Structures are given as structure tokens and as C-alpha cells.
């Protein structure tokens, strides 16, 4: 079966990318190996939580951070378009695109967040424990929007390998569809990090199990962990190697038609930096923008 773009992974990043492309009329397929971390959604998205002004906080991000690859000004530009994107999907978000606001967490602490589901003045009980009903609803609604726009969503199927031709990925094969290939011009890898097995830790290192993309990680296992529970955990920053345009790298070479989005991109520590949702959404919009530019 043929599509314009095939997205591997079915969480927030995959859905944002897929919806953006379908909105512009590209025919997309999402292959998701199971439900996503959106089911643990707290009710607020974070872009970067280490300061009030986001653009200023970003100046302290390390080299190789996804926001640095995309370009900090571009990140802010894309951030501006996010409330409108969610409004089209039926979700009003409150908060400023360039300034954090404070929300209460379920445990009673306060944290700096970017955009919160609901209008200003809604009751401030927003922190949520897993399973988050709001997250479940958002997952279902975004999927429905993607399908209503004409996209195909394969739930509970796992991409197992890709077929490469002339330095490009030409098609992928999945568990359920066996020898029937899914072909496309562009592919987006949004399979997530360790939780969803987008990255897998093996005795010899960290690998990306579907396309065997290059992964950035510390070769010495000793350097993977911090010994204290709340210490920096270097493995959090492991991820698939990619160019500044977020094209994936395989065997040291850029794959020009495979993009990486969401937490599969290395370089970020979503817990320490409070950037999980931000990286998922911003990288998805950035990748979708490039695919659209190249297809029009």
C-alpha cells in the first residue's frame, strides 16, 4: 500500500505530525505498536520549565539539544502556532506561547508550564495521576481528527524492518501485514524512547530496533547512570543521531527521506529540562513543515 508519508509511532508527536500533513492533503499512515504516554498526560504541556521566559531559558540548553538543532528562534515561531493547532482539533489551551505559567501538580507542588488544556478561569484542579482521563480523551480525539482528515491509523502493529533503495528508505514491513510492504516518499520515526521501545538497551549498547538508525550514546556503560535517584541520568539524553533538519542518520550517512520526531531524538532530558511535550510537538511541526515544503 502506498502513502505520501508514513509515520512510525502513534503518540503525541506522531499525531501532531500526521494531522499537520493531512490538513494539507498529504495521505498518511500511522503505525503504532500500542497506546502512548499521552495516557499519563498531566493536563499541561511543557516547552522548557527552567525559567519564566522560555527563550531566555533556552540559552542554557546544551549543544545537540533538539531545540538547538531546530534553532531557538524557529522553536519560538512554531510555539506560536501550537494553540491554534489544538484549537482546530477542538482543544482550547490557556497560557502564553512564550511565557510559562504556574500550575499545581497532583502532589501539591507547583511547576512552570507552557500551555494548559482548558480556558483561563477553569477550576485549577488540573494535575492528574495515571491513567489520565484527559490524556485518554486527547489521544482518542487526535486520532479521530487524523482519521477524519483521511489518514490511516494502524493500532497494535509493529514495524519490523525497512527496505532501502539508493540511500533512501523505500518501504517498511510490519508484523501484521507480513510480506505486504507499505511504501512512501517520506517517513517519520516517532517511536518514542525506552518506554515504548523506540530505543532498546542491549548488552552491547543502545539500538533503534526498526531501521537500525545510528544512536548517540556514551560508549562506556559506567557513564550511563547517575548514582543518586534525583541526579542527572545521562541515558535520558540518548537518542537517534540526526541532522539539524532532523533527518535520521544510518551507518554514518544521512537518510534524506527519514525524519526523526519526539523523544526518539537524543540530546534532551525531559525530566530535568521539562521539555517532553515541547520536543514532541515542536519537532513534529518542524518535520511536517519540511515535508510539506518538499512536496509542494
Partner 1 sequence: MRQDTGFEQCMKCSICTVYCPMMEVNPAFPGPKQAGPDGERYRLKDPLFFDKALKYCLNCKRCEVACPSGVKIGDIIQTATATYGKSVPGLRDRMLANTDLVGRAASAFAPVVNPVVASRPAKALMDCTLGIDHRRTFPAYSSERFDVWFRKHAESGQTRHKDCVTYFHGCYVNYNFPQLGKDLVRILNAAGYGVKLLEKEKCCGVPLISNGLHKAAARNAKINLASIRLSGTTVLTTSSSCTLAIRDSYPEELGIGNSDIRENVILATRFLFENVESGRIKLSFRDDYHARIAYHTPCHLQKLGWNIYSVRMLEMIPGVELVRLDQQCCGIAGTFGFKKENYEHSQKIGEKLFSLIRDAAPDFVATDCETCKWQIEMSAGVRVLSPISVIAEALDFEKTTILNKHQSK
Which residues of the shown chain bind partner 1 in the complex (CB under 8 A)? 1-2, 33-36, 39-40, 130-131, 136, 144, 147, 152, 154-158, 174, 176-180, 195-197
Cell numbers that stand for 141 in this block: 480525539
Q: Which is nearer to partner 1, 124 or 133 (CB)?
A: 133
Integer angstrom CA distances of residue 25 from 64, 151, 167, 232? 33, 10, 27, 43
* Minimal distance, residue 194 CB to partner 1, in Å: 11
Q: Which residues contact 85 (CB under 8 A, 6 or more apart)?
A: 16, 19, 20, 285
Q: Please, are residues 133 and 38 in contact by the beta-carbon 8 Å criterion?
A: no
Give me the least distance between CB of 25 and partner 1, in Å please.
Answer: 16
Count of positions (residues) in the chain: 296
Q: Residue 26 or residue 154: which is nearer to partner 1 going by CB?
A: 154
Residue nearer to partner 1 on the CB measure, 10 or 267: 10
Nearer to partner 1, 91 or 153 (CB): 153
* Alpha-carbon torsion angle 29, 284, 90, 152, nearest 10: 0
Grid coordinates representing 175?
508484523
Q: Which is nearer to partner 1, 102 or 271 (CB)?
A: 271
Write down the least CB distance from residue 166 to partner 1, Å: 22
Distance CA 232, CA 235 (A): 9
CB-wise, 178 or 219, nearer to partner 1?
178
Q: Half-sphere exposure (CA, 13 Å, Cβ side) for 94?
A: 13
Shortest gap between Cβ of 206 and partner 1 (angstroms)? 18
Phi-psi region of 139 (alpha: psi -120 to 50; beta: other; left: phi over 0): alpha
Least Å distance, CB 192 to partner 1, is 9
Q: Which helix (H) or strand (E) holds 87?
A: helix 72-88
Q: How far is the CB of 145 from partner 1 (least distance, A)?
A: 12
Q: Rounded distance, CA 63 to CA 261, Å?
A: 18
Minimal distance, residue 3 CB to partner 1, in Å: 11
Here the cell at position 30 is 500511522
For the chain, give me the number of helices (H) and strands (E)? 7, 17
Closer to partner 1 by CB, 14 or 78: give it: 14
Amino acid at each position: 500500500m502506498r502513502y505520501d508519508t508514513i509515520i512510525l509511532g502513534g503518540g503525541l508527536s506522531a499525531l501532531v505530525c500526521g494531522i499537520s500533513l493531512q490538513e494539507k492533503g498529504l495521505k498518511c499512515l500511522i503505525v503504532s505498536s500500542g497506546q502512548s504516554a499521552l495516557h499519563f498526560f498531566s493536563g499541561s504541556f511543557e516547552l522548557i520549565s527552567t525559567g519564566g521566559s522560555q527563550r531566555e531559558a533556552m540559552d542554557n540548553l546544551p549543544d545537540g539539544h533538539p531545540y538547538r538543532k531546530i534553532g531557538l528562534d524557529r522553536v519560538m515561531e512554531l510555539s506560536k502556532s501550537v494553540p491554534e493547532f489544538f484549537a482546530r482539533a477542538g482543544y482550547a489551551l490557556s497560557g502564553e506561547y512564550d511565557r510559562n505559567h504556574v500550575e499545581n501538580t497532583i502532589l501539591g507542588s507547583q511547576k512552570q508550564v507552557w500551555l494548559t488544556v482548558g480556558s483561563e478561569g477553569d477550576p485549577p484542579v488540573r494535575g492528574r495521576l495515571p491513567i489520565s482521563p484527559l490524556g485518554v480523551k486527547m489521544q482518542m480525539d487526535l486520532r479521530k481528527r487524523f482519521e477524519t482528515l483521511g489518514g490511516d491509523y494502524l493500532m497494535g502493529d509493529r514495524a519490523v524492518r525497512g527496505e532501502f533503495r539508493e540511500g533512501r528508505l523505500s518501504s517498511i514491513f510490519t508484523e501484521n501485514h507480513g510480506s505486504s510492504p507499505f511504501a512512501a516518499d517520506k517517513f517519520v520515526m516517532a517511536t518514542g524512547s525506552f518506554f515504548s521501545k523506540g530505543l532498546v538497551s542491549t548488552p552491547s549498547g543502545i539500538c533503534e530496533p526498526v531501521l537500525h538508525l545510528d544512536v548517540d550514546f556514551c560508549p562506556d556503560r559506567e557513564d550511563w547512570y547517575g548514582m543518586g535517584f534525583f541526579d542527572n541520568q545521562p541515558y535520558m539524553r540518548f537518542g537517534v543521531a540526526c541532522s539539524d533538519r532532523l533527518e535520521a542518520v544510518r551507518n554514518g550517512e544521512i537518510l534524506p527521506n527519514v525524519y526523526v520526531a519526539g523523544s526518539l531524538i537524543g540530546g534532551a532530558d525531559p525530566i530535568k529540562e521539562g521539555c517532553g511535550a515541547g520536543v514532541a510537538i515542536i519537532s513534529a511541526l518542524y518535520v511536517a513543515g519540511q515535508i510539506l515544503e518538499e512536496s509542494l
